[in-house]
Structure 1
């Protein structure tokens, strides 16, 4: 079975590694997605396990099309009845990149017409009721190459099911997990987020340290379609979960309301006992620990205050965090020029997206052995 998992730009390599660790074969890595092959229930394992993916799709078909007639003719012969019953609600979305077919509305309409025509012929119905389970189909066209995809996730995978709504503008869970994995934290050594906000990065670090599958608390749209062996696959994954994190995980924030929310989120995620959460200002940050990992999402965009506040924060980051020379350090910032003039140069700077916000992830390797 072929699958396509989407992710944020710049995170594809991390997602590829996750897929390979699940024992599946990667076929293609491209901007924003990874195509791979797995067993017939690989989509269940993927939805439960992938920390950095946005969605997991079944890759149903693939063909060339430069006209709407070619699109219709290729779709109307595909056996959609193997997956969709006669009462299926058919939801079609489309994306197009540098292709002859670029009108998303027309692509959606033609694709929907072809699928309905096909099912109408098979089920001998002139009108399909569409009162049953929803089947979100994505028509993705890239340089005239059409991929027909069926979304198995439903809600985006960053919605783990543990985060409580608040007034804060938190980092998405799958981006937080990506930062942790990019920093090569796998549960060995101390982990600190000195500006933790609602706790997402620290929580994802704890889940990684304990091998907790990110999707185990939520429901997926494929469960509306047919009986699956999700419970068996999930039970196997949960049997590998470590009872506690081996090393300390800490999260600090200047805002007491943020810490209260982080505590609630950590409890909901089942990792409260693994994380020390406390109110503290990054300007006062210090630690006696050595040889660990610091990852933080510094305020940017609408969260930033005046130019003076920005300058004070960046000065604190330089003084307090870059001074931890035995730590591997990752800073997510909105400032592309942060590293200019720094004595400790970043080993890597990645351009990433938190939703639609452009950010930069500055990574620093330790400069002193311990």
Structure 2
């Protein structure tokens, strides 16, 4: 196993959420977190790579930079790729695939570049190539410099391994975690989601409160690399601690199917004891007993002309209910239309956090409601 402790590690996220992810990375004690487009870079060793996959709630993928070289022709690319020390990272029996991107370079055909690198890996190490392989080498060719990285996550990190039932256009858990953080949620307050869908925000909040590692129930691509140490990995997972909490996390929805899905997902995630889900319209929403916390909502928002007008009454009702009944609570609302957010009449603070969800530009608006 390599003892390298100065790897360049890239933690990917949705553009616009880099600063929020950096705050989580710093809180978790990773070294030298630096914001870059689409993510955060840190320095560390392979154990840091494993821990990032296991513990970070907001990262969508963890890549390790393996090295780089200059190449201006496909033959040169293949030759230099054959000379690359793949044996330090890859195992001969584990299949691999290559994804390439090219920009501002004489090598401009990404598919041809990927095929040449795959051919080189097989020739130099005997590693089989498989389009379905968990291990993916990322080749990025910019200004004739080829940078090679390995994706250590495999499946994207929002796939926690315990969510079985989803609704249409589900919110990714990684996005949910970052939005909760930006809205001020730290696990030490209750949470209410009046339109819970498949329960993502409620379950994510409960897991944060219990300090449950998001990657506890899944496998990762790094387990198939030469650098993997199974006993050290087992010790890392066993070293995770579960925290008790007195707070509770509540989800509501008008759709009975959404309540069934949310309940099943909470049970699968191991947070059923501190979560509750019930069928209820927004007009009947009241705060639970106990201290004030966070109301977080991802209501529908129109993407077609005329949708906003149809949704205005929903947002107006939401704003009225929260203002009249949730004094002292914080509020987070995700929507794709400023007009709809303003229709709530809530006292939003600061600039909304802008990012993309499923290719649609959206914003997170936050507010603190005056105590009654």
Q: Please give the alpha-carbon distance, in whole angstroms, between the structure 2 residues aligned to 1:175 and 1:152.
A: 20
Q: Please give the alpha-carbon distance, in whole angstroms, between the structure 1 residues aligned to 2:350 and 2:162.
A: 33
Give unpaired runs (5+ residues) of structure 2. 1-6
The equivalences for 1:191-202 within 5 A come to 191-202=191-202
Structure 2 residue aligned with 1:320: 321
Aligned: 1:31 with 2:34: no
Cα 1:67–1:184 shift into 2, 3 Å: farther
Structure 2 residue aligned with 1:276: 276
Moved over 6 A (4+): 302-305
Structure 2 residue aligned with 1:135: 135
Conserved 8 A contact 1:98-1:144: yes
Conserved 8 A contact 1:168-1:198: no
Cα 1:359–1:343 shift into 2, 3 Å: closer
Q: Please give the alpha-carbon distance, in whole angstroms, between the structure 2 residues aligned to 1:217 and 1:268.
A: 10
The equivalences for 1:256-335 within 5 A come to 256-287=256-287, 291-301=292-302, 309-323=310-324, 324-335=326-337
Cα 1:193–1:343 shift into 2, 3 Å: closer
The more displaced of 291-300 and 140-149 is 140-149
SS at match of 1:95: strand
Q: Please give the alpha-carbon distance, in whole angstroms, between the structure 1 residues aligned to 2:71 and 2:304.
A: 45
Give unpaired runs (5+ residues) of structure 1. 121-127
The equivalences for 1:1-370 within 5 A come to 1-65=7-71, 68=74, 71-72=77-78, 74-97=80-103, 101-119=107-125, 129-130=128-129, 134-142=134-142, 145-225=145-225, 226-228=228-230, 229-237=232-240, 240-243=241-244, 245-287=245-287, 291-301=292-302, 309-323=310-324, 324-340=326-342, 342=345, 344-364=347-367, 366-368=368-370
Residue deviations 1:42-80 (CA, integer Å, cap 9, x gap) = 121111111111111221113455554664454333200
Cα 1:255–1:175 shift into 2, 3 Å: same
How many angstroms does 1:106 deviate by?
A: 2.6
Conserved 8 A contact 1:4-1:58: yes
Conserved 8 A contact 2:263-2:276: no
Structure 2 residue aligned with 1:123: none
Tell me the TM-score normalized by structure 2: 0.86
Query: What is the aligned residue count?
Result: 359
SS at match of 1:266: helix
Q: Please give the alpha-carbon distance, in whole angstroms, between the structure 1 residues aligned to 2:86 and 2:269.
A: 38
The more displaced of 182-191 and 16-25 is 16-25
Tell me the TM-score normalized by structure 1: 0.86
Conserved 8 A contact 2:301-2:307: no
SS at match of 2:46: coil
Conserved 8 A contact 1:194-1:252: yes
How many angstroms does 1:369 deviate by?
A: 5.2
How many angstroms does 1:271 deviate by?
A: 0.3
